[in-house]
Amino acid sequence: MNRHSYIILIILFYCHNSYGQLIKTLQIGDTVPDITIHNLLNYKDTVAKLSDFKGQLLILDFWATWCGSCISQFPKMEKLGKRYNDNLKFVLVNSNNTGDKLHTIQKFFSERKERTGLGISSPIVFNDSLLLKMFPHRLLPHYVWLDSNLRVVNITSFGEMTIALLNRYLINGDLRSTTKTNDTFQLRQKDTIYVSQISAYQRIHPAEKMLRTGAGLLSGISLYNKSLPDLFRMAYSDQISMNVILKPNRIIVPLGLKSLFKEINYQDSSILNSYCYKLIVPQTTASNIYKIMRIDLQRAFDIHIRIVKKKTICLVLNNYKKTQSVENISVNGYDMDIESDTRHKYMKSMPLKDALRILDLYSRIPIIRPKNIKGNITLFLPYDLSSPDSLCTAFQKAGFNLHKKYRKLKMVEVYVREQLNKTSKP
């Protein structure tokens, strides 16, 4: 071997060794090498060093255009960035395993800006592979926190991305018990025969799983980071019609329980009001699983539910047969955008019965659908779909009379045993 060949081999060896160190999996406490990042958007250059973005805290946000939970966090990130200025910076990382291409990402942000009026100020990395190898994960969003020395200080999911936690870190350097420990969960543990457990928020994405054993039987159920109403919905799913129990506007909650029995927006998941339930039993029917779950929830929270018929204020479609605004059935199908961050929501050529059914899930008061309803409707809807008055205005502009009236409906009443005893006394 001649001298030049020997020198080349040495150079290749050190390059390979250096590159190998760059792509090793990193954990909390490790320092990220000051790597060169390529494929940058929304930045002054297409290439930069990682250190160009560092501040007191730099958060790498792994996301994808199809991840609703990721996208729902963008407005909060913008507010947090403005609140903390140079002390907090975000870099959005779209890795090469998401299936997103450059044109997909550009189109997504362009359409989002047009639809919502919301822009994004953070740099965006597309077709990333290096950061993905350093911080492998299964679920999105996935956040990696780096301090001013590019040391990994935390790895979290979106539930922990709160002002309270950021204040604790930026002011006191405190990250007590916030680290994301798992991307998934295991329902059955080896040799487990019976387990029944209710716990508070866990550092994992909201999820649910049934352990099926075949022949229609189950041996377990697990729900992570669910609201108390959703736990009760599952427990009573074989007892109460889904048409009633799924709709928040059909649930009567006494004032003293409102802070506990509270719905959650899962795209902006909160550590508060989130619970986990795990049940492992010898194989049995789904009905028995739900029965055990009901007993567990009643014991843990002293909360019960029952069906009552109650006269309540509703939105009722009047003079439907006389209305001339019903469209013919569209051969091209319908179009709809009622996403929470859309400024100008709409339903175009939507079957009228489906429009009323969907809006009933958002309205603060029930919406009553006429029987044998036919035809399509185009609606330009308010930003706040929960507002009955705004919904009435939208229907009025479309030529329909939607009015408030009292109707006797089946409702879900939430109560504690003491309240039932008091109301039962003569």
Point out the least confidently predicted range of 10-24, 81-95, 141-155, 284-298: 10-24
Q: Are residues 349 and 283 in the same domain?
A: no
Could you give the CA distance from residue 377 to residue 399 in angstroms, rounded to a whole number? 10
- 30 part of a folded domain: yes
The SS3 of residue 293 is helix
Overall pTM > 0.95: no
Could you give the CA distance from residue 269 to residue 274 in angstroms, rounded to a whole number? 8
Give the largest CA-CA distance in the chain.
106
Greatest mean pLDDT among 93-107, 159-173, 200-214, 234-248 = 93-107
Q: Are residues 78 and 219 in the same domain?
A: no
- 363 part of a folded domain: yes
- 424 part of a folded domain: no
Model confidence pLDDT, tens digit, residues 23-37? 789 999 999 999 999
Tokens found for residue 320: 């439907």
- Closest of 408, 359, 355 to residue 378, by C-alpha: 355
- Closest of 59, 32, 38 to residue 125, by C-alpha: 38
Does the pLDDT of residue 208 top 90, yes or no?
no
**Residue 424: what pLDDT?**
47
Q: Are residues 27 and 144 in the same domain?
A: yes
Tally of structural domains, the chain: 3
Mean pLDDT confidence for 219-241: 91
When comparing pLDDT for 201 and 43, which is higher? 43
Q: Are residues 357 and 378 in the same domain?
A: yes
The DSSP result for 49-80, as a single string, is EGGGG-SSEEEEEE--TT-HHHHHTHHHHHHH
Q: What is the dihedral of CA 281, 287, 291, 293, to 10 degrees?
A: 60
Name beta bridge partners: 306: 413
Give the domain CATH number at 82. 3.40.30.10
Residues near 18 by beta carbon (within 8 Å), at least 6 away in sequence: none
Query: Where residue 64 falls among pLDDT bands split at 50, 70, 90?
Result: very high
Strands 88-95 and 57-62, by their bridges, are: parallel
Domain region containing 14: 3-172
Tokens found for residue 297: 């929830």
Q: Are residues 319 and 255 in the same domain?
A: no
Tokens found for residue 412: 């879900």
- 421 part of a folded domain: no
Could you give the CA distance from residue 133 to residue 32 in angstroms, rounded to a whole number? 12
How does DSSP classify residue 21?
H
When comparing pLDDT for 152 and 186, which is higher? 152
- 423 part of a folded domain: no
CB atoms under 10 Å from CB of 46, counted, come to: 10
How does DSSP classify residue 372?
T
User: What values do phi and psi take at 15, rounded to 5?
Assistant: -65, -45
Q: Are residues 330 and 292 in the same domain?
A: no
- Closest of 67, 56, 73, 61 to residue 135, by C-alpha: 61
How confident is the prediction for the chain on average, in pLDDT? 84
Q: Are residues 14 and 113 in the same domain?
A: yes
User: What values do phi and psi take at 298, rounded to 5?
Assistant: -65, -40
Radius of gyration of the chain from Cα atoms? 27
Mean pLDDT confidence for 293-310: 94
Model confidence pLDDT, tens digit, residues 331-372? 457 889 998 888 899 999 999 999 999 999 999 999 998 888
Q: Are residues 286 and 322 in the same domain?
A: no
**Residue 212: what pLDDT?**
85
**Residue 391: what pLDDT?**
96
**Residue 183 burial (10 A CB sphere; 0-12, 13-18, 19+):** middle
Q: Are residues 278 and 154 in the same domain?
A: no
Could you give the CA distance from residue 385 to residue 347 in angstroms, rounded to a whole number? 12
- 389 part of a folded domain: yes
Dihedral sign (CA 70, 37, 33, 52): negative
**Residue 371: what pLDDT?**
81
Mean pLDDT confidence for 214-243: 89
Q: Are residues 343 and 232 in the same domain?
A: no
Query: Where residue 179 falls among pLDDT bands split at 50, 70, 90?
Result: low
Q: Are residues 86 and 28 in the same domain?
A: yes
Using CA atoms, how far residue 365 sits from 272, 297, 310, 382, in Å, is: 26, 27, 13, 16
CB atoms under 10 Å from CB of 55, counted, come to: 16
Return the residue matching tokens 């859309």: 342
- 381 part of a folded domain: yes
Cis before 370? omega within 30 = no
User: What values do phi and psi take at 338, rounded to 5?
Assistant: -125, 30
**Residue 340: what pLDDT?**
83
- 177 part of a folded domain: no
Dihedral sign (CA 244, 249, 255, 259): positive
Q: Are residues 288 and 326 in the same domain?
A: no
The answer to whether residues 41 and 123 touch, using CB atoms and an 8 Å cutoff, is yes
**Residue 209: what pLDDT?**
84
